[in-house]
A and B are shown apart, each in its own frame.
Chain A
Amino acid sequence: MQHLCKIGAIIAKDLAAELRTREMLGAMFVFALLVIFIFNFAFELRAENQRALAPGVLWVAITFSGMLGLSRSFIREKDRGSLEGLLLAPVDRGVIFLGKMLGNALFIVIIDCIILPVFVVLFDIPAAALPQLAMIAILGTLGLSGVGTLFSAMAVHTRAREVLLPVLLFPLIVPVILSAVKLSAAVLDRLPFAEVQSWFSLLVVFDIVFGALSFLFFDYVIEE
């Protein structure tokens, strides 16, 4: 219970700081939009191939803008010294990890929620698909932010900083991207759930297993 309060406090602090400036959410949102536009130009998405490419475009937009948020997550704390402030507090390292991870996930989910309706309009997708797409987006985002938070804490302690995060993170989250794209495609094609159930399980299992591993390893990453 006490732990939950402290996790909540960390999330609330990050959210309050972000809502004051809105610089990160703003950048993430514009970036996600740009990805969708650039794909439209690059592939000349016409009516016939639009549906086929749509899930891919959506997930490139989500992962790229998510990466932007994740890389800022610890850089902000580190530059201000507030990361040390957190580490000084008599709080379990796991609590700090969960607070940061859920905060990161929350930011990406906020972006998901704004970008999904835009995506539905631009790609002429029936609005009925929205709830299912949102659920896939949340599951994918959780997978992204588990390992993402761990690697963000790692990258901030290296010389290369934000440059290193995508290089480390993208190969590892291939299963998340693959299953999220497959599930989204199934929703757009109105396939029965049974056909893509294995992808769904893969995504959930990845979220749990790699989330738990990141939770366990976080201690090794932030100690000195």
Chain B
Amino acid sequence: MQNPAYLMTGLLIVTGLLMVAALVLALGVAPDPVNLATPTERFAQRIFYFHVPNWWVGFLAYLVAAVAGALYLVSRQERWDAVGVSSIEIGLTFNTIGLISGSLWAKPTWNTWWTWEPRLTTAAIGWLMYVGYLMLRSAIENPQRRARFAAVFSILAFLDVPVIFLAVRWWRTIHPVVIGAEGGQGIGGFALGPTIQLVFFVCLGAFTLLYVTLLWMRLRTEFLSHRVERMRQRLLFR
């Protein structure tokens, strides 16, 4: 990186523009799906452009954290721990937003804020696991031990997510599966036309870029705080 400050500003501007474009496309350009009956349902459907990319980012963030955890255990380099905690903080934020936006959509569509459906349940349990991750970190003072425990936990938690999902899935599901399924299944499902698909992938790209930007910024603060800590130690224990 020659000029991280310029790169950072550039990335910020691109991400911002793409997010605005995604917003305009999702609310203004994308057509109503053909098979949704009531106006409320059609209106609520537009959350799809944010809700799904949002979950994608959450998943990606947890995946990145698990990989960073494995890399930390192998290499013992502080920076992988920084990547892990930064990624999980972002993932948890998106996880929280996803739970709220999902509830907002579920009320008009399923006529309930919450139901014990596999995806919802898994999301809620995942949320609890990663809140536990942050609690674990905050309860350990020794930085190397904190990094080790966090790495172990983030790997185990990530591997557990599909198992939990599978377990909860054997109850009946009502969540719509719109991607890779004909015409949409589940209550509130809908068909994906070509424009809808295009808008959706723009949104997905925008959110992924948003994740990268946030991770980068969070990492920078993490590294800066490490530097401050090292300088403080050098002054105190010369």
Interface residues of A (CB under 8 A from B): 147, 150, 154, 157-160, 164, 167-168, 170-172, 174-175, 178-179, 198-199, 202, 206, 209-210, 213-214, 217, 220-221, 223-224
Contact = CB atoms under 8 A, between A and B. Distances in A.
Given A174-B125, A175-B167, A158 B156 contact: no
A171 B136 CA distance: 14
Nearest to B168: A178
Nearest to B157: A172
A150 B153 CA distance: 10
Contacts, number: 78
Most buried by B among A147, A160, A179: A160
Given A174-B125, A174-B168, A178-B167, 8 more contacts: A154-B152, A157-B149, A164-B132, A168-B136, A171-B129, A198-B170, A209-B159, A217-B152
Contacts of A209: 159
Given A157-B140, A171-B125, A178-B167, A221 B149 contact: yes
B167 A217 contact: no
Given A160-B135, A164-B136, A174-B125, A221 B167 contact: no
Given A171-B128, A171-B132, A175-B164, A221 B152 contact: yes
B125 A159 contact: no
Given A171-B132, A224-B145, A202 B166 contact: yes
A114 B99 CA distance: 41
Nearest to A157: B145
Contacts of B140: 157-159
Interface residues of B, number: 28
A214 B160 CA distance: 12
Contacts of B141: 159
B139 interface: yes
Contacts of B170: 198-199
B148 interface: yes
Contacts of B155: 213, 217
B139 A164 contact: yes
A222 to B, nearest CB: 10
B20 interface: no
A196 B56 CA distance: 32
A121 B163 CA distance: 34
A223 B52 CA distance: 41
Contact of B156 (A172, A202, A223): A172
A148 B180 CA distance: 38
Contacts of B196: none
B23 to A, nearest CB: 34
A220 B76 CA distance: 11
B73 interface: yes
Most buried by A among B73, B125, B163: B163
B135 A167 contact: yes
A132 to B, nearest CB: 20
| 8 A-B pairs with the lowest CB-CB distances in the bound complex, closest first | A158-B139, A175-B167, A171-B129, A160-B139, A171-B128, A159-B139, A217-B152, A178-B167
Contacts of A154: 136, 149, 152-153
Contacts of B168: 174, 178
Interface string B124-146: 01101100100110011100010
